[in-house]
Structure 1
Amino acid sequence: MERSFLIFLLANLLCLPFWAQNKPADIKYSSNFTQLLTDSQGYIKGGLYDRAKVSLLQILKLARTPEEKKEVNLKLAEVEANLGNLSQAYNYYKQSLQLALETGDKETADFCKTSIDIIDSYNDGKTLRQTGKYKESIIKFREALLGSDLINNNILKIKTLRQESLVYMDMNNYQAFLEENIKANEIAKAINNSIEIILTINNIGHYYSLIDNINLAIENFDNAILLSNREGMPTYVIFDTYYNGAVVNIEIGNYDKAIEYLSFALEIIAKDKSNSYYVTSLSNLGSTYLKRALTSGNKEDYDRAFDYFNQALSAAARTGNEPFQVAVLNNIGSLKAHLEENLDALYYLNKARILAEKIKLNAYLVSIYTNIGIIYARQGDYQNSSLYYDKAINLALSENEDRTLWESYLEKGNLLKKQGKLTEARFYYLNSINIIESLRSKLSMEEDKASFLGSDKRLNAYHNLIDLLINLNKEKGDQNYLTQAFSFTERAKSRAFLDSIESSNLEKEIPADLKLINQEKEIMSDMSKLYTRLIAPDLPEDERITILQEVKSLEDKLDNIKRQIRSQNPAYANLTYPEIITYEQASKEFVKSKTAVFTFVVGEDSAYGFALTGQGLKVYPIPVRSDLRLRVINHRKAISDTDNREFQSGRELYDLLLKPGMVEGIKNLIIIPDDILNLLPFETLLTGSQPDDWLIKNYTVYYAPSLSSLRELANHQNRNNRAKPQHNLLA
């Protein structure tokens, strides 16, 4: 229900690593001093800046002449910059400048003076960015970059590029944000600056998370974590890497890893409770435990979530951080809602709403409005529930918040379904599924796609629509609703498998025409508004007919837009709208005279079996998830007990799952299980009254993830075979 408060920690912008400086004029030093200085330079080149600093501070005590003091101060400025301490670096540059002027070393004096000017421009640019003066900020950063190039001060150039990149990010110019960090990363690698390598990799990972390429985001954050384990790495760098890694794992539903990373990050930052990321880490830990509780049902996870949320709320209140208070209040409200403590849930959610509206935290308001709508629906207050769902949908559409919009559509569909407005509910479920699949198509690893669809309650959109279509069939007697239900069963089962096959043929997805994508969103928004009008009480019949005609016209336009996208960019279209087998295609390709296909959909509130045979499609109810789980567990125990001779569980499961769809003459069964049924060996079900009437004695059983996947695998293999030259083989 809730959406956890995810703040990506950009690579800490105050950190500054290594630079290659111009050599000052040749000066003769004592041999011992020269050796110590050479040793410290070795530490710098190895990226061991803490060791270099300790060594240089000792050397400074040994320095006797102005030349020696000047050289040590210059090296200390370099080291402090590498450690990210610009103010200390600034002071050492000033001291070295003064000594250079005293000794007549113009080259070193010019270098130090320019470095000081670079830091001044850098700080001015940073201040301007923080006040929203982006153009002026870029001008200052450009001055700093010109100075860095003039004296070959690479560490200050890296810092400036990275800081300037954040201006582009604030301006939503994500491509420029990426390019600046790639440049900085290349320089950091050239000078072996591990800190800046990590920080730029973090920012590159953040870029990919911004454009919803979760796979590349994970890859970059994981690389940053590996690099952060080096000796002498500052704690803020380590925190950044683990925090970012946790956030992206929350996004794809990998909660165990997210908890591991967040716990480690919190341990690092726990001493500084005034740090805003202390609150964020607490809140995200609470959210992650809550999400895990929703999938596991573990009460301890609920308790841990509530404890972390309370800690986060107290910390946010102490620092007066209102956005964090909104986030945590919403999360507590969500937790209470999941525990069905509805009055407490409304209390926390309304506190979050009032504060969010006050500070105009629109992205979060979408989640809050949806959550409030859910509570009102539970209480039977459908008017207020519908009002808040519409608020959430309209705000999400205006803010392009697809990551929360899918849930608002889902919950509005649930409300309409509960009211018996099945046609209207169908529209909202379809929109929810389309957005889920659009988000999912931007993942590129099969396991990430699978966890994405299975996390939160995204599968509910499919299950609820399938249940709705079956009910429409009962209500109107139209077989087309059952074939549509079959189609959505395939869509739910096939996505990860088909996408993984498709992505193996596409190295890079090229975005479709943005104009067409925007038109698609506008049409969906217009359709949403029409359906909002359609459910108004006491709507005149003539107006209702007119609205339905407008909806039909918009649906035709939407289909046309998708056709244009497919024709202009087939690669993008194939990933966004992958080909799913239809009932007619499945009947033609898989259902033979002696073959039947059984596919199952198992949900919390409804579950169905679909039987495709030569006599057509039959859909029948089966036990819901909780009931099936117990039956499957009991049957597995029965068949694994070598002394057992009673298999009543196998007979009951056969009667529930297969018998309703069986017809005469069937010899081959293609089984497409779902949920807990993936753990059921169908061969061990009993078809008769005798203890050895095993299914396997009379039927050949095949398993598949979906018919679409089975067909695509066959096609994929055929394409590969055609592409390879044929050779005669001798055994």
Structure 2
Amino acid sequence: MNLLAFLLIGVLSFQNGPLLTGNKDRQQFLQVSLRASALRSRGEYEKAAAALQEAKSIAEQANLDHSQRQCLMRMALLRWDLGSMAEAEALFYEAMLAFQNAGDMRASEFCAKCVKLTRLYDEGKKDRDAKYYFRSLERFQEAIALGRDTGIPDFELKCLRQQSLTYWEMGRLDSFLACNVQGLKISSEIHHDIEKGRCLNNIGITYHRQNEFAQAAEYLENALSTIRTAGDRPSEAECLSNLGLLYRDLGNYDRALYFLDSALALDKDLADCGSISTDLENIGSVFLRRGLDSRSRQDLLAGLAALQECVSIRGRSRADASAGFTVLNNIGIIYNELGEHRESRTFFHNALRAVERRDFVPEKGQILSNIAASYLYESRFDEAIRHFRESYDIGVANSLENVVIESCFGLGKCYELTHARSAAIDFYQRSISALENVRDRLSSELLTIGFSRNKLAAYQSLIGLLTAAYQNQPSPELLEQIFGFVERAKARAFLQRIQDADIDRTEWSSFHLKERQQRLTQNIAELTERLSRQDLHEGERMLIQRELEHEEDEYLRVTLGFKEQPQEGRGRAAERICSRQDVQSRILDDRTILLEYFMGEARSYLILVAKEGMELFVLGGKAELENSLRAYLKIISERSTEDAAIRGASERIGRELLPFLGGAQYPGASSLIIIPDGVLHYLPFETLRIDHEDGPRYLIEDYTVSYGPSASSILALHSMHRNRIWKKDLLAFGGPLYDPGIAQKDDAALRQGAALRRLGNGQAFDFHPLPYSQQEVREVASLFSREKVDVLVGKAASEDAIKALPLQDYRIIHLACHGLLDENRPLRSALVLSIGSEHGNDGFLEMREIYGLLTAADLIVLSACRTARGLLEHAEGPMGIARSFFFTGARSVLASLWSINDKPAVVFMRQFYRNLLAGRTAKEALRLAKLMLLQSSWSHPYYWASFVLIGDPGAE
């Protein structure tokens, strides 16, 4: 038994003993001492220290000498826990002398051991600062051994974390991680939230350094919550900075700035000049990354201003290497992007000398790539290749994925521009392999999208070179390679998410999840109400807005975290990418053709896959196609446009995008599966007119048409819950109540009004009643057997209801209501349901909430405005409402590209369901319904072209 435990047990044993009876001072001392023990056991160290000070004063006044000595020793341990090492050592030393004078040699020796431990701890830190790393490790190891010998885990805990920092300085990440994992275990057991938060933070930054972004986000978010609970403000600022850097590297620049600005505000409040300069450096790096991605001179200049302010605070001249190599490197990048290549190299070389002096290997590799890029911009290819090669060698030798990604891409670009095609192809492939190795380890959709957002250049360059080689000497192998890389570039986050959705989630509902969601929902509602106040000044409004965005993102992160497949069950993403053979044998039949588009800056590509063949077509570049489509997309979505204007444009675009049609190559084809890219996601291909022996005809007149994010995702959706037996055929949900005068009637209405201002971001929305919406729902429901249908209309069509229903029981889910689209903040896009709530819901079923639903539907029909649209993400497509329903477990979604007319929608949906119940597949039923409108007075594409079928075209 260790001495401290013995002493504490001794104190407790007096509670019922005769010595305390009638002794008021002893009784008072015992009560306060026990309170201090209880506070310490809960990790409330400051309060425990105050209680012990009170107990010591009582002991002094009552001449309780032994109790005074005990208090000294316990106060010393609390000072250790609070990080006041000098005070801890002084108190242990005082206690040692006191026990020695009292003749208690055992207790005196214990305190002497504690004094030695605190001195070893201090010497270990000094050795680390002096770069005597091995002696530092020896001192901490000796201190850890002494701590274990005392039996008090608090000693080992702090020494482990300090030892880990020495390992960090040495670049030994594995040992750094191991120390913090052990520290996390100890801190959790003894409820030491300050140390627990720091260990969580350190584990998070380790995973970030190793490109394990999903785990990094989890640990850092948990660290921030723990640190805030503990009230450790300096560590809170550090953790906020680490989260900012993580989201910067994931391409989520708005969220990165949110965390970094929060860290800066906290450091200013703490008057920590060193941390303030670091915050400015990090903020500058975010503006730099965003400026590179968006080619924004404004962002680059904002980054330069932040970095220069950082240098100014540090009191250094701009090109002084001691100003910090990362600052110098980032200033160099900005000058390089602004065309000041020689000036940029001045900063790069100063940064390089700084990292070489400190033997920082990863940083050296990155700076060498930046120097190479400056030479590449000047077309000095020999110098560029030399520096990229040196960077690449460092990356390979030290397993530095980021260095390999950048240097290989740079070498590929150099060799491409010098016409060394095979070498360029080789290095582009190496860059892509390293990139995918990182991306495959990301579990979250948002993390994957953010990481991939600016990583398409290697794919575009490689596909361009392979296409040139194919045109020069066609071969099936080359064409399959091109198809493979197009698939590897597209919709990887979507593919992973729908595979997660196909897991049995019968036990998914969790009390802890619901509790967390409810708390976040309440926070969002409260922030929303505060944001709606008219007396807010602009600074406060911006602060609330950013807090609100963080809570919305956190809601989605928590929800998706519960639905994600365990990492060990995922397998490599490359193994889930389908091949040409997979498409031909498992998706296509003799009448179906798959068309996959891939848009590049200079050229775009169309890959046609038929049952027995495959073709490649080269199209115009991204800007050319966007210019060609811009006016057309507008006129087909406006009913005032004359048909003649539509026909001419649709024939021209048909020739551009469907160059294979009009000939005799595929005479038996009657069905198209289209994999769009970029702005093509907004084009209903059915409206394109193609040559026919009787003259040009709309594509819909000869072909069924469906859409998907990638061929691999089509195959995954095709395989989902194929043999499921549903309890019900249809949930018909719609015709919500929209009462314009309800805004002042009750709390629920006020909540919805505040939510609308948040979702609309200040825009005005007119959610007028949909008189035909209830009719649509009832008519659709009447086509099915009554016992197989549930109908909710009017007030019953509420957000509460849809969240409470067992949605997995329905084969088809039909939702008819208003849709709200936010292309700037896609997670705020929503379906607008009935007002009136008993559970705090505001009537807006937002995208982040849809992610949390569970369905197993063959088909979800969204009879609402613009549900197929959303913020366009490179390679992923629209981040809109239709996409979110796939992640609930749906195989296919029928959604709209523009606002739809209420009355024709009723006619359209009635015909669509009649066709479906007559045994047609969803794609066939959709084509026939469109043809019916095309042959009526509603022949304008505005009426019939808005609805598109996304997902598995074979859904029934």
Q: TM-score, normalised by structure 1?
A: 0.77
In the alignment, structure 1 residue 50 sits paired with structure 2 residue 23: no
Partner secondary structure for residue 701 of structure 1: strand
CA distance in structure 1 between the aligned counterparts of 2:502 and 2:171, rounded to whole angstroms: 31
CA distance in structure 2 between the aligned counterparts of 1:150 and 1:481, rounded to whole angstroms: 67
Amino acid at match of 2:286: T
Match of 1:696 among 686, 691, 700: 700
In the alignment, structure 1 residue 682 sits paired with structure 2 residue 685: yes
In the alignment, structure 1 residue 383 sits paired with structure 2 residue 379: no
Look up the match of 1:657: 657
Match of 1:710 among 704, 708, 714: 714
Task: Summarize the alignment of residues 385-400 of structure 1 with structure 2, pairs less than 5 Å apart.
Answer: 385-400=384-399
Look up the match of 2:602: 605
Q: 1:619 to 1:163 in 2, by over 3 A?
A: same
CA distance in structure 2 between the aligned counterparts of 1:395 and 1:728, rounded to whole angstroms: 61
Whose Rg is larger?
Answer: 2
Look up the match of 1:124: 123
Task: Summarize the alignment of residues 155-304 of structure 1 with structure 2, pairs less than 5 Å apart.
Answer: 155-167=154-166, 174=173, 176-230=175-229, 233-270=231-268, 277-304=275-302
Look up the match of 2:481: 484
Q: 1:142 to 1:390 in 2, by over 3 A?
A: closer
Partner secondary structure for residue 428 of structure 1: helix
Partner secondary structure for residue 84 of structure 1: coil
Larger mean Cα displacement after TM superposition, 674-683 or 709-718: 709-718
Q: Offset at 1:467?
A: 0.7
Q: 1:577 to 1:687 in 2, by over 3 A?
A: closer
Task: Summarize the alignment of residues 389-538 of structure 1 with structure 2, pairs less than 5 Å apart.
Answer: 389-455=388-454, 458-478=455-475, 480-493=477-490, 495-497=492-494
Q: Offset at 1:404?
A: 1.7
Unmatched 5+ residue regions in structure 2? 15-22, 504-567, 730-786, 789-956
In 1, are the aligned partners of 2:32 and 2:54 still within 8 Å (CA)?
A: no
In 1, are the aligned partners of 2:287 and 2:302 still within 8 Å (CA)?
A: yes
Instruction: Give per-residue Cα distances to partners, 1:346-395, cap 9 Å, x unaligned.
Output: 44334434544555443223222222322322322222222222222223
Q: Offset at 1:414?
A: 1.3
Partner secondary structure for residue 8 of structure 2: coil
Q: 1:52 to 1:321 in 2, by over 3 A?
A: farther
Q: Offset at 1:93?
A: 2.0
Partner secondary structure for residue 400 of structure 1: coil
CA distance in structure 2 between the aligned counterparts of 1:273 and 1:179, rounded to whole angstroms: 33
CA RMSD of the aligned region, Å?
A: 3.9
Q: Offset at 1:205?
A: 2.2
Instruction: Give per-residue Cα distances to partners, 1:231-250, cap 9 Å, x unaligned.
Output: x5121221232222222222
Look up the match of 2:591: 594
Amino acid at match of 1:237: S
Q: Offset at 1:574?
A: 5.1
CA distance in structure 1 between the aligned counterparts of 2:482 and 2:300, rounded to whole angstroms: 35
In the alignment, structure 1 residue 580 sits paired with structure 2 residue 577: yes
Partner secondary structure for residue 216 of structure 1: helix
Q: 1:124 to 1:354 in 2, by over 3 A?
A: closer
Amino acid at match of 1:657: L
In the alignment, structure 1 residue 23 sits paired with structure 2 residue 19: no
In 2, are the aligned partners of 1:416 and 1:424 still within 8 Å (CA)?
A: yes
CA distance in structure 2 between the aligned counterparts of 1:333 and 1:84, rounded to whole angstroms: 40
Amino acid at match of 1:680: L
Q: 1:572 to 1:471 in 2, by over 3 A?
A: farther
CA distance in structure 2 between the aligned counterparts of 1:47 and 1:574, rounded to whole angstroms: 41
Look up the match of 1:352: 351
Look up the match of 1:330: 329
Q: Offset at 1:24?
A: 8.6
Count of residues in correspondence between the two structures = 642
Amino acid at match of 2:712: S
Q: 1:621 to 1:21 in 2, by over 3 A?
A: farther
In 1, are the aligned partners of 2:651 and 2:696 still within 8 Å (CA)?
A: no
Larger mean Cα displacement after TM superposition, 420-429 or 355-364: 355-364
Larger mean Cα displacement after TM superposition, 393-402 or 631-640: 631-640
Look up the match of 1:100: 99
Instruction: Give per-residue Cα distances to partners, 1:494-528, cap 9 Å, x unaligned.
Output: 6445556778999xxxxxxxxxxxxxxxxxxxxxx
Q: Offset at 1:475?
A: 3.2
Partner secondary structure for residue 435 of structure 1: helix
Larger mean Cα displacement after TM superposition, 480-489 or 657-666: 657-666
Instruction: Give per-residue Cα distances to partners, 1:564-603, cap 9 Å, x unaligned.
Output: xxxxxxx899517425333354345445443222111112
Amino acid at match of 1:284: N
Q: 1:584 to 1:41 in 2, by over 3 A?
A: closer
Larger mean Cα displacement after TM superposition, 46-55 or 201-210: 46-55
In 2, are the aligned partners of 1:266 and 1:281 still within 8 Å (CA)?
A: yes
Q: 1:157 to 1:321 in 2, by over 3 A?
A: farther
In the alignment, structure 1 residue 313 sits paired with structure 2 residue 311: yes
In 2, are the aligned partners of 1:22 and 1:152 still within 8 Å (CA)?
A: no
Look up the match of 1:622: 619
Q: Offset at 1:263?
A: 1.4
Larger mean Cα displacement after TM superposition, 79-88 or 158-167: 158-167
CA distance in structure 1 between the aligned counterparts of 2:175 and 2:387, rounded to whole angstroms: 38
CA distance in structure 2 between the aligned counterparts of 1:701 and 1:236, rounded to whole angstroms: 58
Larger mean Cα displacement after TM superposition, 339-348 or 114-123: 339-348
Q: Offset at 1:709?
A: 2.8
In 1, are the aligned partners of 2:321 and 2:328 still within 8 Å (CA)?
A: no
- Structure number with higher strand proportion: 2
Q: 1:259 to 1:608 in 2, by over 3 A?
A: same
Partner secondary structure for residue 456 of structure 2: helix
Q: 1:41 to 1:411 in 2, by over 3 A?
A: same
In 1, are the aligned partners of 2:585 and 2:611 still within 8 Å (CA)?
A: no
Q: Offset at 1:260?
A: 1.1
Instruction: Give per-residue Cα distances to partners, 1:444-464, cap 9 Å, x unaligned.
Output: 334322322223xx2111110
Amino acid at match of 1:472: A
Q: 1:73 to 1:505 in 2, by over 3 A?
A: farther
Q: 1:632 to 1:329 in 2, by over 3 A?
A: farther
Q: 1:346 to 1:663 in 2, by over 3 A?
A: farther
Larger mean Cα displacement after TM superposition, 241-250 or 575-584: 575-584
- Structure number with higher helix proportion: 1
CA distance in structure 1 between the aligned counterparts of 2:7 and 2:192, rounded to whole angstroms: 18
In 2, are the aligned partners of 1:279 and 1:324 still within 8 Å (CA)?
A: no
CA distance in structure 1 between the aligned counterparts of 2:181 and 2:386, rounded to whole angstroms: 46
Look up the match of 2:845: none
Look up the match of 1:564: none
In 2, are the aligned partners of 1:168 and 1:176 still within 8 Å (CA)?
A: yes
Instruction: Give per-residue Cα distances to partners, 1:67-96, cap 9 Å, x unaligned.
Output: 365454444323322222212222222233
Amino acid at match of 2:113: T
Amino acid at match of 1:394: D
CA distance in structure 1 between the aligned counterparts of 2:124 and 2:358, rounded to whole angstroms: 26
In 2, are the aligned partners of 1:118 and 1:147 still within 8 Å (CA)?
A: yes
In 2, are the aligned partners of 1:396 and 1:404 still within 8 Å (CA)?
A: yes
Q: TM-score, normalised by structure 2?
A: 0.60
Amino acid at match of 2:370: N
Q: Offset at 1:119?
A: 1.3
Quote the sequence identity (%). 24
